[in-house]
Structure 1
Amino acid sequence: MFREIASRLVSEGVVSGRAGALSTAAYYQLWKEGEVFDLSKSQVQIHRARLRKLGIDIAKPYHFSNDSIDTGNFAD
């Protein structure tokens, strides 16, 4: 799912490069593992905004029922 998120970020124009996509995808993975983020930090706000464009809100606790991301052609 990590690679799929990174690919979607680039293909949907949320980020312009692979480095930004991978950084944001890392936040997604940490969120799935139970990480709680300090939403007052600017870096967290940037990655949250990017992920929200994909329908993912890392401000809310992760639950598998929220993991309904349509990866389309990116699914393995």
Structure 2
Amino acid sequence: MRFTVLFALLLLLFVAACQTITPEQQRAMDNQKCASFGFKRGTTAFSNCLLRLDLDRRADRRAQMQFNQPVFIYGPPYYGPGWW
């Protein structure tokens, strides 16, 4: 009995962790965040707020990708004129 309950809880946690946010949900959260900052919908300031949130999210993704990939340098070393 305990094993079944424990297994069900672990399965529930695993499924909950695999949930991803759809673009529509992300846009709704961004709209809510910019509105909570006091920006009015349809204004330039509101659009700039949405743009900044998107740019910050993209910069975070690029930063994560940069450190997760090894760096390889291909080719033999260059010992021609001016190498020193």
Query: Which structure is richer in relative contact order (CA contacts within 8 A, separation 6 or more)?
Result: 1
TM range (shorter): under 0.3
Higher helix residue share: 2
TM-score for the superposition, normalised by structure 2: 0.26
